[in-house]
Structure 1
């Protein structure tokens, strides 16, 4: 995409100000089975902004666009019906699998994050009491609570990056490895097939603010693809 907005956006901006005055936080209505953190689904994100957008004559559309092999490109576009002014964004995310299911999963993931970013949607707990409970932060240098027990001969306080390679090569090795990764607020993990039959783990979310923790957990920054990643068995 060469242009991300119309020449004039003043009327659209006024409408979006009204949207952000009335928009509601997206409720965390699902749980990530790998890291057990709660997150807001696409349905929740849409519910939080649909009425605000329609009430201010803003049409929102999202559609896929070509990207490099192994990646999905998604455009999110906001159009002001009365003035015709528009603004858009392009998100590029890795495909977990090179099949329709993988594309659908990546598209759903990209849609909720791209829309949240464009409108400034934040998330909120669906249980007020849970929201008041203090949260316990797990140090990235220790095994997360409720993670599988370490293999025999492996220290229980082993750092996340030091997972036994034989375990990662077993049938459930990748799932065990994901469970051993630190739970970092605002970060989710996604597995992607890599060359040589290996599994690559991508860290997504608010990575800019968590660079130190991701680096300590063995993730590396890829400046070309702009992602934090690591192999499932690399130390």
Structure 2
């Protein structure tokens, strides 16, 4: 079966069961057993993350970074290579086991955790938080509740980078994923987070496109 079709089928079953996040574990477990393919497992960092880092000449210099919904670790390993001290979490225990196995000797701290109930010590603890294509994989509910939770990890003086597929409000799309509207991107700016830049990256006439949003939390 086509990987995207299989993933959507798992998501539909989980949503019907009232467990909208359960399909992640089912997919990663099946992939670990060799009977499925994770459709977003490209083995390289997301191009919008890599482009952001290159454009800004980003260096970690030992600063702490958190990757939300890390999957098999492509973005986490990229940030580690830039010199960040990276923590990467996913709700799927199978994803975390597979990431650790794939990246033997990694410096990334891979953790199984839930965005809705994360370790308390993560609150306002990270200089860089990367949310790449994760929240959009949730139906609504609970997507609207998940979006404002991401920014709570950002330390004073820190940055939140959001990467997502985008859609215009009038465009319907049968997910997963459920591409985000501009209003949903703006909803990441909770508490004192400030939006620095929102990029709408699209080809002329495209129905779907890419969002790359950068926010920061002021010091003090």
How does the TM-score come out when normalised to structure 2? 0.33
Q: Which has the larger radius of gyration?
A: 1
How does the TM-score come out when normalised to structure 1? 0.31
